[in-house]
């Protein structure tokens, strides 16, 4: 039994020694393999990394960087989106705009016609004379110069800037004359007779009661025989251009006043000849749905004045319910937004209402 124990022990010892040697060799080769793999991996990733940088460098040499955002992105992959946006904004705010090319400058200049950017020969001298006469309160001379200039420089285009500028000046001039009873070729010093009243004097001279009161600074309609009144006798007519969105007031063939207007949407403003048959201050509005909206209600679209239009002559008799009125919406002037009526600014329709009598013909085209 002792021999068997020894033989077993000796055999066990030799087996253990052999296994240890084998394990040592395995560890060596495993370590060698891992080392080789690490070296190969390092070479592979290094080539990828440096190859990418070389590609980026090559690309940047061919294509110049156009803005700071691209430049920052190519330098580092760790820049946040917030930082990139911040740099781009700073670059935009502090950079100096490039000067326009010769071609762009030429195109911009060609869009402004020379005849609009420059006044015609003689215009500046005439306008200086006009302003001088107006400043000296020589309104008759000022009005004559303005009308001559209108015919000379603006008659070719009644919607053009030259006509508008002169037309607005003539409007201002005429309002100053008739509101203050100033001298004019159309002024009549009417001597009041027994039996006269402002209404029959107004009808006789085609000049409304309100305008007579304003010209003579009358606070009431009471007048006295033997006294004189300043009254103007005009040959009124009105034209409305839908295309130009302008209302022209004429005394015969001479322009008396010019106003911007708004017209109907979708072509709803009718064309033809009409007559002013009624005038209402502070009007109620009868809506298309039959509702009566009182003056002062925010839904009342008529503004402060209403001049009723009725078709005459060959104009379609069904074109009823239209008129010239004010508006609270001044942004609608020069636009096509109404249901067909002609809109004016409240202060301007009040002006028109004062001096234009009933029965005046209005031509819309």
Calpha distance 211→180 (Å, rounded) = 10
Contact 229, 211 (CB under 8 A): no
Percent of the chain with pLDDT over 70: 71
Q: What is the mean pLDDT of residues 212-216?
A: 98
| Domain boundary assignment for the chain | 121-185, 262-364
To the nearest whole number, what is the mean pLDDT of the chain? 80
d(CA 191, CA 264): 45
Q: How confident is the model at residue 107 (pLDDT cuts 50, 70, 90)?
A: very low
Kindly report the CATH class assigned to 262-364. Answer: mainly beta
Mean pLDDT of 1-25: 45
250 by DSSP, 3-state: which? strand
Element (H, E) at 273: strand 272-281
- Which residue in the list 205, 289, 319, 341 is annotated as catalytic? 341
Q: Is 325 a catalytic residue?
A: yes
Nearest to 326 by CA among 350, 361, 308, 310: 350
pLDDT value at position 158?
A: 93
Confidence of residue 35 (pLDDT cuts 50, 70, 90): confident
Q: Average pLDDT for residues 47-71, to the nearest whole number?
A: 42
Nearest Cα to 336, choosing from 259, 266, 240, 288? 266
């Amino acid at each position: 039994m002792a021999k068997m124990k020894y033989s077993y022990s000796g055999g066990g010892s030799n087996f253990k020694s052999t296994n240890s040697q084998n394990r040592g060799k395995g560890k060596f080769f495993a370590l060698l393999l891992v080392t080789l793999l690490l070296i190969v991996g390092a070479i592979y990733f290094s080539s990828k990394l440096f190859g990418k940088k070389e590609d980026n460098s090559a690309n940047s040499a061919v294509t110049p960087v156009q803005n700071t955002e691209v430049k920052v992105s190519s330098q580092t992959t760790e820049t946040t989106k917030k930082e990139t946006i911040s740099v781009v904004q700073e670059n935009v705010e502090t950079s100096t705009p490039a000067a326009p090319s010769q071609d762009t400058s030429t195109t911009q200049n060609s869009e402004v016609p020379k005849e609009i950017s420059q006044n015609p020969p003689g215009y500046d001298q005439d306008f200086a004379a006009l302003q001088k006469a107006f400043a000296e309160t020589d309104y008759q001379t000022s009005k004559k110069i303005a009308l001559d200039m209108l015919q000379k420089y603006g008659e070719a285009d009644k919607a053009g800037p030259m006509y508008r500028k002169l037309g607005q000046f003539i409007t201002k001039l005429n309002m100053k004359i008739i509101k203050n009873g100033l001298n004019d070729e159309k002024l009549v010093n009417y001597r009041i007779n027994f039996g006269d009243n402002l209404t029959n004097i107004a009808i006789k001279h085609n000049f409304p009661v309100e305008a007579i009161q304003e010209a003579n600074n009358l606070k009431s309609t009471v007048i006295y025989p033997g006294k004189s009144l300043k009254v103007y006798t005009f040959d009124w007519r009105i034209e409305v251009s839908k295309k130009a969105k302008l209302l022209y007031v004429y005394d015969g063939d001479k322009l008396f006043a010019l106003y911007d207007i708004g017209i109907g949407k979708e072509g709803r403003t009718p064309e033809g000849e009409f007559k002013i048959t009624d005038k209402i201050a502070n009007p109620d509005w009868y809506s298309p749905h039959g509702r009566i909206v009182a003056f002062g209600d925010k839904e009342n679209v008529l503004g402060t004045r209403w001049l009723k239009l009725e078709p005459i002559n060959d104009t379609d008799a069904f074109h009823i319910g239209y008129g010239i009125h004010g508006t609270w919406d001044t942004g609608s002037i020069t636009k096509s937004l109404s249901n067909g009526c002609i809109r004016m600014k409240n202060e301007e329709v009040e002006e028109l209402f004062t001096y234009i009598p009933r029965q005046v013909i209005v031509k819309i085209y």
